[in-house]
Amino acid sequence: MLKLLKYGVVDGYGNLVMSHGMIYSVYASMVITRYLMGFEDTFSYIYKYSFFMPIVVLIIMDLSIEGAVDRNKQMILCLPKKGWELSGVVLLKSLLKVGIACICSSIAFYIHLSITKNPRRMIQAIIENVNFPLGALFSGMLMIFAAVSIVSWFSWVLVHSCKIKHKKLCGFFITIVIIIIAQSIGGMIAVLFPLRVLVPNAVLYIFPLLKEAKYILPINLTGIIIPMMIYIVCLWWSARWIDTKIDI
């Protein structure tokens, strides 16, 4: 199993899901959400539960993964550009990923808190923050999407480690994921469109120096959506668990 996971982590797809995914976003978003919601004990909370450390460690880990000279990076490094431009792009990509993970997780956690503590406030929060029908669709679809994503990811790892013996199985899961993506599209547009499309585009067109970003960012296009879905579900459940342990 460990070998399978390791294979998945090393493989680009698994790398995105595992290394950038579940762990730090859970911690990071809890801290950020608490801070945004005005809990004054945020920093003592961080200290008490040492939530801050995993964030730092994992962000550093993330950056070091990004910094590693893999084959694609080699292609970037060959470009006749100054070092700071090249490393800046890699750093930007990583920060963007961390940022998006934190923001999305925070939204989910915020909604979750609203649901558990005050239904009226939940509705208000959704209406105020996200268009209600889209928000509802988004929340519902995320659950299914994340579940299917997890299953399809494991099948992906399995298929890869079995040297593509079960192409049909893989195709089946990928088809399901595509169907769910199609179903979720309305909900995703509401939240992801501004983040996923506007932010990178702004970066690309406002800062022409960072032309390279155009070639790095699409790598995450498929990777980032699925991990984000997983973040949110993990968060949802971890938040529930925390609710039972801590009196918010």
Partner 1 sequence: MQKLIGISNVKKQYSKSKIALDGIDLEIPVGKIIGLLGPNGSGKTTFMKMLAGIARPTEGKIYIDGQEPGVYTKSIVSYLPDQNQLFKWMKVQDAVAFYTDFFQDFEMEKAKELLTRFEIGNKERVTSLSKGTVEKLNLILCLSRKAKLYVLDEPLGGVDPVARDQIIDMILDHFHEDCTMIISTHIVSEMERLFDEVLFLQRGKIVLGGNAEELRLQRAKSIDAVYREVFAQC
Instruction: Work out whether the CA dihedral 33, 95, 101, 231 comes out positive or negative.
Output: negative
- Using CB under 8 A as the binding rule, whether residue 71 contacts partner 1 is answered as yes
Query: How many residues lie near partner 1 (CB under 8 A)?
Result: 18
88 touches partner 1 (CB under 8 A):
no
| DSSP label at residue 211 | T
| Distance (Å, whole) CA 230 – CA 22 | 7
Residue among 72, 124, 175, 201 that touches partner 1 (CB under 8 A): 72
In whole angstroms, the minimum distance from the beta carbon of 27 to partner 1 comes to 30
Closer to partner 1 by Cβ: residue 117 or 211:
211
How many whole angstroms separate alpha carbon 158 and alpha carbon 152? 10
Long-range contacts of the stretch 76-83 (C-beta < 8 A, 24+): 76/212, 76/215, 76/216, 79/212, 81/212
Structure tokens at 162: 């079995």
Residues 208-227 that bind partner 1 (CB under 8 A): 211-212, 215, 218-219, 221
**Interface mask (CB under 8 A) for partner 1, residues 172-211, using x and -?**
---------------------------------------x
Residues of this chain that interact with partner 1 (CB under 8 A) are 12, 69, 71-72, 74-75, 77-82, 211-212, 215, 218-219, 221
